[in-house]
Amino acid sequence: MKEYSTVISGFGGQGVILAGKIIARTGMELGLEVTWLPSYGPEMRGGTANCTAIVSSELIGSPIVDNPSALIAMNPPSLNKFGNVVQQGGLVVSNSALIESPSVNNHVELIEVPLNTIANEIGNTKVINMVALGSWARFTDGIDLDDLMNGMELTLTDLGKEKFVDVNRAALEKGYNFVD
Amino acid sequence: MSNQIASVSKEEKKLVFGKPDALNDEKFSYCPGCHHGIINRLIAEAIDELGIRETTVGTAPVGCSVFLYEWFDIDVVQPAHGRVSAVATGMKRARPDLTVFAYQGDGDFASIGTNNSVHAANRGENITVFFINNTLYGMTGGEMAPTTLIDQKTTTTPGGRKAEDFGYPIKMSEMLSKLDGPTYITRQAVYDVKTIKRAKKAIKKGFRNQLEGKGYSLIEFLSACPINWGLDPVEAIDRIKEEVEQVYPLGDILDRTAGEKE
Amino acid sequence: MGNKQLMRGNEAIAESAIRAGCRNYFAYPITPQAELLQWMATHMPEEDNGTFLQAESEIGAVNMVYGAASTGERAMTSSSSPGISLKQEGISYLAGSDLPAVIVNIMRGGPGLGNIQPAQGDYFQATKGGGHGDYQLLTLAPSTVPEAAQLTYEAFDLADEYRTPVMVLADGMIGQMMEPVELPARKDLNELPSKPWATSGAKNRKPNVIKSFALGGDKLKAMSEERFTKYRVIERKEVRYEEIGVEGPDILVTAFGTVARIVKSTIRLGQEEGINIGLFRPITLWPFPGDRIDELSGKVDTVLTVEMNSGQMVEDIRLSVSKNINTPFYGEMAGCVPTPKGILEEVKKHV
């Protein structure tokens, strides 16, 4: 799998960090090289808390990327910050529940998903990150929904949060199937 | 409706409440429910009311306190972690005409800086020290502070602080009151109108002591850190009232100017 | 996959230290090594006789290490750049008392309070003194999370073998990022080297004294010369480095730590454009692999050094390269991280 980097960004509390860890874990279970790097500075308070998860079949050089393959933007400041640096032909998943008129370069594939609305339908606002991941998986070659489900389950189990596996699974599925 | 209000000319409006001059136009970026914002504002109001904005220099070192220079419209110096009392001493000795205040958290005042804090108090340096006690280290990730309560969970006391491992919450204000050097030591809070009013009085007294050459003033604030306490802002206030105040009671601990006319 | 776990550098370093038989950890909170402290707070007390203590300051912590090490126990402290500055007196004392200890520096932007982003500005501090007096600090520079775990583990053996403090010099990137790690095996505490010199109670033996003080005559000189004899052995036996594509490349790039890792991406980009880039990566910053870089520089016209600082390791490169060739420097200071493309642009200026 060619090196695939994803930046996930949002407010503290939107599950950005966990979503990135799940990508990394999923990749690791598939035998791929993975890195995960959080932003850990004042960005955590400014609405652009973010992390970068990279998966690749080759050794990963730099864990940070100027031009990621994909962006998951959970709130407007995140889209403003990262929307125009995604690679040509890359993917942007934008949270249409909070981001009204997303503006990105027209050389990317823009997918608008109302994350908060879908999460509310499932009955748990905290899973907006999983809905986003589901949509992301739809457009990512090399990682399919089953792989991601597995990665999610393993990650949550390690954190002692098995009881949330089912609702997260539902969220991943809804996100995956939202886009046609 | 709003258009009608907007059309009233500026001269006809009378400003009854606004930002103190000692604060600039930047927005605070403190976490929701943090008390730094309230305390910063009270200090700025005191500076305005005493008319000392242009002759006041603040020092704030590390942690959430470090951002003082972002919103105060006064000169600010940023020393190394813990060294504020020494730096403030240097500043005041070099320029006694300036009003020097220190703004420190628990790590700064009571852990790494204890040595400098004790000696500045002992020498009776003519400065005003604001000590913000939120019972843990906020900026670095919620670690134990010397002021952490027994059984309090922090990221370095995941099972709760145990006295036999890590000692007791340290009472700096009480400790320093045993020295002959300091003039005024008080502990305040800012969680309701009453405490805010008292806190502001204490701040002004701390500044006035300095302006009148009366020596070392220490104002400790019990402050909230909802994010690291894992509480919402209202629960955080309850924690201060129900738990923190039991260990750190509010009120004046030392006042060598008591009895003098204000 | 096997026994790999996804771990942060900070956590992998902490867990490796515990597996290496370290039962004494003293430190003070500072970004970006908070997770190291927190891991130790949770896991060290789970070990028999395991001591975790958050000290009142970094100075307190390094002196607690001095104490624990004197009694013959494996001990460690960790911090980041400004805190490591505070520890310099302690490190000088550890070196001057010939005490084994491990000090981990998760570097950040400086000088002063700086910022909390990754940097490599403490190379001089680690390798050229930092503390006062004549001593050397064995310094290991990992480039990835698994290597950070491995080098921390070995640092304790090196410290004990040579009775000397050892530094693991990482940066905020390594500390914060997660990678799959296979952790080293737990050591059997009964198989750790014995320390007859330690102040562990003078039972059935003459008393031991741990000090760095030697007043009068040539006593201090004798102590120092013995120490430097030890350092000469370390220089002969413990030099480590990694090299990739160093047989006649178009250009040789030298870097340590995270930057070397980034250069590996640059190498790939270079190949796509037909540029053959070699990488020489010192792993021991002291003892510095000067002989080897001198040898390799015989095959190229340019040795480009890339660092996250204002130019520190490049001085050692220039001192080591005897041939009169081009030894340029490319760096990003103040917590900025060079990009693979940025480094390639720099490379192109010289080929």
Closest-CA distance, B182 to chain C, in angstroms, reads: 23
Closest-CA distance, A48 to chain B, in angstroms, reads: 13
For residues A12-20, give the mean pLDDT.
89
> Which of C24, C42, C57 should we substitute to test contact with B (largest number of B Cβ atoms within 10 Å)?
C57
Does the pLDDT of residue A45 top 80, yes or no? no
Per residue in C128-146, pLDDT tens?
Answer: 989 999 999 999 999 999 9
Closest CA to A104 of A145, A71, A132: A71
Phi/psi for B241 (5° steps) reads -65, -45
For residues A110-138, give the mean pLDDT.
93
For residues A33-37, give the mean pLDDT.
96
d(CA C318, CA C325): 10
For residues A24-51, give the mean pLDDT.
85
d(CA A102, CA A100): 6
d(CA B222, CA B134): 6
- Find the closest chain B residue to A47 by CA distance: B29
Q: Taking all residues of chain A, what is their mean pLDDT, rounded to a whole number?
A: 91
The b-or-e profile of B57-76 (16+ CB within 10 A means b, else e) is bbbbbbbbbbbbeebbbbeb
B140 within 8 A of C30, measured Cβ to Cβ: yes
- What fold does the segment set C241-348 form as a domain? Rossmann fold (3.40.50)
**CB hemisphere CA count around C281 (13 angstroms):** 22
Task: Find how far residue C4's CA is from the centre of its chain.
Answer: 24
- Find the closest chain B residue to A44 by CA distance: B31
Set of chain B residues whose Cβ sits within 8 Å of the Cβ of C31: 139-141
Closest-CA distance, A62 to chain B, in angstroms, reads: 26
Q: How does strand A4-10 pair with strand A33-38?
A: unpaired
- Find the closest chain C residue to A3 by CA distance: C265
Set of chain C residues whose Cβ sits within 8 Å of the Cβ of A28: 1, 4, 6, 180
| pLDDT at residue B1 in the model | 44
For residues A90-96, give the mean pLDDT.
95
Beta bridge pairs of residue C77: C103
Domain boundaries, chain C: 5-187+209-237, 241-348
Q: What is the ipTM of this complex?
A: 0.88
Question: Which range is least confidently modeled, A25-34, A39-48, C7-16?
Answer: A39-48
Domain boundaries, chain B: 29-255
Strand order across the beta sheet in which A109-113 lies:
A109-113, A91-95, A70-73, A4-10, A49-56, A33-38, C178-181, C5-8
Closest-CA distance, A178 to chain B, in angstroms, reads: 34
Query: Would you call B144 and C112 a contact, using CB atoms and an 8 Å cutoff?
Result: no
| pLDDT at residue B2 in the model | 46
The H or E element containing residue A7 is strand A4-10
d(CA C71, CA C60): 17
C132: which 2 tokens? 């006062």
B101 within 8 A of B127, measured Cβ to Cβ: yes
C252 within 8 A of C280, measured Cβ to Cβ: yes
Question: Hey, what amino acid is at B241?
Answer: K
Under 8 Å CB-to-CB from B26, ≥6 apart: which residues?
B70, B71
Residue C244: how many other CB atoms lie within 10 Å: 15
Q: Calculate the CA dihedral of residues A95, A98, A104, A106 and round it to 10 degrees.
A: 60
Phi/psi for B160 (5° steps) reads 95, 140
The reply to whether A160 touches chain B by the CB within 8 Å rule is no
Q: How does strand B251-255 pair with strand C241-244?
A: unpaired
Q: Which of C32, C177, C267 sits opposite A35 (nearest CB)?
A: C177
Closest-CA distance, C129 to chain B, in angstroms, reads: 22
Closest CA to C285 of C156, C128, C178, C62: C128
Closest CA to C196 of C317, C72, C56: C72
Q: Which of C6, C117, C177 sits opposite A25 (nearest CB)?
A: C6
Q: Which of C30, C31, C38 sits opposite B156 (nearest CB)?
A: C38
DSSP tag of A91: E
The one-digit pLDDT tens for each residue of chain C (351 residues) are 458 999 999 999 999 999 999 999 999 999 999 999 999 999 999 999 899 999 999 999 999 999 999 999 999 999 999 999 999 999 999 999 999 999 999 999 989 999 888 999 999 999 998 999 999 999 999 999 999 999 999 999 999 999 999 999 999 999 999 999 999 999 999 999 999 999 988 888 888 889 888 888 899 999 999 999 999 999 999 999 999 999 989 999 999 999 999 999 999 999 999 999 999 999 999 999 999 999 999 999 999 999 999 999 999 999 999 999 999 999 988 778 899 999 999 999 998
| pLDDT at residue C202 in the model | 84
Whole-Å CA distances, A82 to A116, C117, C266: 20, 19, 23
Under 8 Å CB-to-CB from C346, ≥6 apart: which residues?
C304, C306, C328, C330
d(CA B132, CA B138): 11
* Beta strand ranges found along C189-328 (DSSP E): 241-244, 251-254, 277-282, 284-286, 303-307
Closest-CA distance, B29 to chain A, in angstroms, reads: 7
| pLDDT at residue B6 in the model | 56
The C-alpha angle with vertex B229 and arms to B221 and B217, in degrees rounded to 5, equals 10
d(CA C125, CA C81): 9
B101: which 2 tokens? 């205040």
Closest CA to A148 of A1, A22, A10: A22
Chain B to chain C, count of Cβ pairs less than 8 Å apart?
52
For residues A67-75, give the mean pLDDT.
94
Query: Would you call C57 and B146 a contact, using CB atoms and an 8 Å cutoff?
Result: no
Question: Crossing angle of helices A128-138/A165-178, nearest 10°?
Answer: 50
Beta bridge pairs of residue A110: A92
Set of chain C residues whose Cβ sits within 8 Å of the Cβ of A35: 177-179
Query: Is the model more confident about A79 or about B7?
Result: A79
- What fold does the segment set C5-187+209-237 form as a domain? Rossmann fold (3.40.50)
Domain spanning B29-255 has what CATH number? 3.40.50.970
List B residues 106-125 in contact with C (Cβ-Cβ < 8 A).
107, 111-112, 114
Q: Do domains C5-187+209-237 and C241-348 have the same CATH topology?
A: yes
Question: Crossing angle of helices A145-158/A128-138, nearest 10°?
Answer: 150
Q: Could you tell me how many helices (H) and strands (E) chain C has, helices first?
A: 13, 14
- From chain A, which residues contact C within 8 Å (Cβ)? 21, 24-25, 28-29, 31, 34-38, 40-41, 58-64, 66
Under 8 Å CB-to-CB from C294, ≥6 apart: which residues?
C320, C321, C322, C323
Closest-CA distance, C264 to chain A, in angstroms, reads: 5
Whole-Å CA distances, C305 to B69, C22, C139, C332: 38, 35, 19, 12
The reply to whether C38 touches chain B by the CB within 8 Å rule is yes
pLDDT along chain B (262 residues), means of 10: 54 80 90 93 96 93 86 90 92 92 95 95 96 94 96 96 96 97 98 97 98 97 95 96 97 90 56
Under 8 Å CB-to-CB from C141, ≥6 apart: which residues?
C169, C170, C256, C257, C282, C283, C284, C285
> Which of A30, A50, A55, A62 should we substitute to test contact with C (largest number of C Cβ atoms within 10 Å)?
A62
| pLDDT at residue B189 in the model | 98
d(CA C206, CA C318): 49
Terminal Cα-to-Cα distance of chain B (whole angstroms): 49
Query: Would you call C54 and B107 a contact, using CB atoms and an 8 Å cutoff?
Result: no
d(CA C132, CA C93): 9
Set of chain A residues whose Cβ sits within 8 Å of the Cβ of B70: none
| pLDDT at residue A44 in the model | 59
Q: Is B18 exposed, middle or buried (0-12, 13-18, 19+ CB in 10 A)?
A: exposed
